[in-house]
Amino acid sequence: MKSSPTEFERRCYALLRQIPEGRVTTYKAIAEALGTKAYRAVGRAMGANPDPVIVPCHRVVASDGTLGGYALGLERKIALLESEGLRIGQGRVEDFKTVFWSAFSV
């Protein structure tokens, strides 16, 4: 089973699950939504991602629209995003601002 994720990590995962299909968000947006500025802590938490299936971590990209990274490999991340109707251009998300999703937009 899973280790004991901290409240912070759980919060990140819960937020990711709120992301609609075909949309992406940034590490920064997540941190801000959680009421903090720990962009790095969010990224690190994703690295601790216990359930890459339950939690759509592949919908999280860097603030520049770059894919950033993925526990299962960027190739996998790209495939998933394209599968959701997103356009990926050379390690980067096209129409990033268009598909960008904010927790405050709900």
Partner DNA sequence: CGGTTGACCAAGT
Partner DNA sequence: GACTTGGCCAACC
With contacts defined by CB under 7 A, how many residues of the chain interact with DNA?
A: 34
Name the phi and psi angles at 61, rounded to 5. -130, 175
Q: Which of 19, 24, 33, 41 binds DNA (CB under 7 A)?
A: 41
Which candidate in 12, 57, 67, 93 is catalytic? Answer: 57
User: For the CA atoms of 73, 75, 77, 79, what is the dihedral angle to 10 degrees?
Assistant: -150
The token pair that represents 33 in the structure block: 């939504």
Region 8-37 residues binding DNA, contact defined as CB under 7 A: 8-9, 26-28, 36-37
Q: What residue type is assigned to position 60 of the chain?
A: V
Binding site for DNA (CB under 7 A): 3, 6-9, 26-28, 36-49, 52, 57-58, 60, 62-64, 66, 68-71
